[in-house]
Amino acid sequence: MAVEEELIKETDLPSALYDGLAGFRLVMRRFLSLSGAALEQADVTSQQYQAMLVIRTAPGGQIRMRELSEQMLMRAHGAVQLVDRLAAAGLVERKPSRTDKRSILIELTPDGRRLLQDLARIHVKGLLENQALLVESLGKLGDLRELA
């Protein structure tokens, strides 16, 4: 067991820490509930939405399969299947790399960009609705390193 873990177990935790954790968990539950409803309405899975975010934020809006699987914490074959489903839905497309003819890049289609933008707006709105509680909760958590 790490020294930090031993110290946390040996001392009483401040009440504010519990308040911060409870508030943070409430914000997460609210956000995940909103997200789940929005994704279901759009007929997109959480994993597909996350992949679209990863692709959108990649340099140039394009990503290699290996990089996508690393960022998604997936095995390569799982990432291929995920991209296959996104491509079948018309949300992404594969393009040959201009610099490395052996590499295939994945990028969002115009429909994929529109859908991602719509979903991102919903998610940002949900975060804004809970921003005060999130900031308050994180403030109560303070610097967690002080507990170690």
Domain-located, residue 81: yes
Residue 8, pLDDT > 60, answer no
Domain that holds residue 97: 15-138
Tell me the three state secondary structure of residue 89.
coil
Torsion sign (Cα): 120, 112, 40, 74: negative
Alpha-carbon gap, residue 58 to 97, rounded angstroms: 14
pTM of the predicted structure, to 2 decimals: 0.83
Q: Report the number of distinct structural domains present in the chain.
A: 1
**pLDDT tier at 2, thresholds 50, 70, 90:** low
Residue 56, pLDDT > 90, answer yes
Domain-located, residue 66: yes
Domain-located, residue 83: yes
Tens of pLDDT, residues 9-34: 566 788 888 888 999 999 999 999 99
Phi, psi of 35 (to 5 degrees): -60, -45
Domain CATH number, residue 66? 1.10.10.10
Q: Are 104 and 95 in contact (CB under 8 A)?
A: yes
Domain-located, residue 4: no
Those residues whose C-beta lies under 8 Å from the C-beta of residue 72, and which sit 6 or more positions away, are: 47, 50, 51, 54, 78, 79, 82
Residue 112, pLDDT > 90, answer yes
Task: Tell the residue number behind the tokens 């393009």, with chain if given.
Answer: 95
Mean pLDDT of the chain: 89
Domain-located, residue 106: yes
Please tell me which of 22-26, 97-101, 137-141 the model is most confident about, judged by mean pLDDT. Answer: 22-26
**DSSP string covering 23-37:** HHHHHHHHHHHHHHH
In this structure, what DSSP letter does residue 94 have? E
Rounded to a whole number, what is the largest CA-CA distance in the chain? 59
| 54 to 24, 49, 64, 67: CA distances (angstroms) | 24, 9, 11, 9
